[in-house]
Amino acid sequence: MDDTPGRTPATLHPLRAAARETGFTLSCEERTGNLLAVLAAARPGGRILELGTGVGEGTAWLLSGMDGASSLVTVELDPAVQAVARRQLGADPRVTFAATDGGDWLEAYDGEPFDLVFADTWPGKFTHLGRALELVAPGGTYLIDDLFPQPGWPEDHAVSVERLLAELEEREDFRSVRLGWASGLLMAVRSG
């Protein structure tokens, strides 16, 4: 079976071209993106949080699955990188961009929880994990990627991944599954 997505967001090609032009190499893998679109589609009127906008490829996938009543907040540390996403996707009223450190954003946020939290950067995954999980609504989904070794990752990445997986598996308020494909994923659903 070929698991290459059969349908991609129309905005994906210009975002990929912009990523190449700017030298940005950490974009969302397309199988992960397809899963994001499906998870967003499963939550009509859903509230979604993306930690790590990058140039917006994951954002594009999320928007492609969302209905008109859904909303997305996407957070990125590097405003120059996020500017690519803003140019391509900023006209969509369902998305709000925050250019700030993800950890700072998580600590300062005091709004409603989210139906889907996608942590595609260190804050919300390797740091500030507890805070990110607090923001998942009951029955909501927490998704992380990039758990397989990647070129250029810090030497302690594998140790960080093992610690993260152990911490998530110990939590009784989340049920999780490891997905050994794409860049290495873990999906967890808040049980109560």
Is pLDDT at 26 greater than 70 in this prediction? no
Q: What's the pTM value of the predicted model, to 2 decimals?
A: 0.93
In 3-state terms, what secondary structure has residue 94?
A: coil
Q: Give the pair of three-digit tokens for residue 5.
A: 């997505």
Phi, psi angles (nearest 5°) of residue 51: -105, 110
Q: What is the mean pLDDT of residues 37-64?
A: 95
Question: Distances from the Cα of 122 to the Cαs of 102, 103, 183, in angstroms?
Answer: 8, 9, 15
Chain segment 92-145, per-residue pLDDT in tens: 999 999 999 999 999 999 999 999 999 999 999 999 999 999 999 999 999 999
In 3-state terms, what secondary structure has residue 64?
A: helix
Cβ distance 54 to 27 under 8 Å? yes
Of 157, 61, 171, which is closest to residue 116 (Cα–Cα)?
61
Burial class (CB in 10 A: 0-12, 13-18, 19+), 25: exposed
In 3-state terms, what secondary structure has residue 163?
A: helix
For residue 165, the surrounding DSSP H or E stretch is helix 157-170
